[in-house]
Structure 1
Amino acid sequence: MPSYISVAEAAGLLPGCRRVMVIGCSGGGKTTLSLRLSERFALPYLSIDRDMRWLPGWQARDRGEQRAILTRLVAAERWIMDRSGPTGIDLRVPRADLILWVRVPRRVALVNLALRVARNHGRVRVAMAEGCPEPLPDRAFLGYIWHFERRSAPRFVAQIDRHGPRVPVALIRSRAEAARLLAG
């Protein structure tokens, strides 16, 4: 079982953290939270999608190349890194001082996704690789969000338990909790 802590406890730990993982469902607010924490605590922001996974034109890098890049990224002394999928979690978790799991209800994630697409459709977001403009979501992506808690969350729990059972994990379930975390 992961080592869960409260949002207040996480806020107390953050000033001393050098490496913070932010995980959760797409549309949950991971990037927004990561960028704000990066600014507040002067931690370099790393986006797995931008810095490891995608090449221009939505071409996925070869898995071996992705793993080599991730190995280099996690070796850095300081970072805040966000990702919605469990890829490379075996490399990320052992290096993390704290895991922030943005775990909002799926209806919130879907509304956030709709707002993100409305704001950014056709443009490249800060968390995305150059040449990868925000697309309209397809059925598979919407299904990933809809089924995240049932299909993906148990895999995250198992991987955190396997690779970092002592790494503290704070569940961020709302914007209010994210605001409390940021306020310290």
Structure 2
Amino acid sequence: MSDKEKKPIEQDQDNQEIEKEQEETHPMKKVRIEKLCLNIGVGESGDRLTRAAKVLEQLTDQTPVLSKSRLTIRGFGIRRNEKIACHVTVRGKKAEEILEKGLKVKEFELNKKCFTDQGSFGFGVDEHIDLGLRYDPTIGIYGMDFFVVLERPGKRVKNRKRRKNKMGNKQKVTRNDAIKWFQTKYEGFVIDN
């Protein structure tokens, strides 16, 4: 009796090990960058905002989009629908290059709180000149936010127009998947605070 009971348990362990190996090598399980969002929040419209937009344009070679405020906040001197920030969405190889520049500034160290439950992560850079751009006294120095959205192949199934469908939980990127991807791809360190 005991020999019969041991065999199924050993087979289950072997099956679990095989499944883990297949997950690591399966092309549909590989995590990749969907997009990189760069944001500069100036807090006011006018000349400073146009200079911040120039910084993003120099960095990405794309025209940035100006963001409007949602509410009026008298303490900050912000009116509703006033343009106060600019942002750019970058995809593909250019996103990987810019992300690597940003992570070099942070010395490939991120806090665990930077990672979301949906498998995305973000961080900030204090000075744009650290990213390799030359200092221009007419522009000044701006800080910016990096936000990276990760995905696995097949995410399009839930977003496409025709034949939409639910995406399985195994195909979704979790916080642990994002941390593991960051540590393996960039050999980064995740600090626990």
TM-score by length of 1: 0.24
* Larger RCO (CA under 8 A, 6+ residues apart): 1
TM-score, normalized by length of structure 2? 0.24
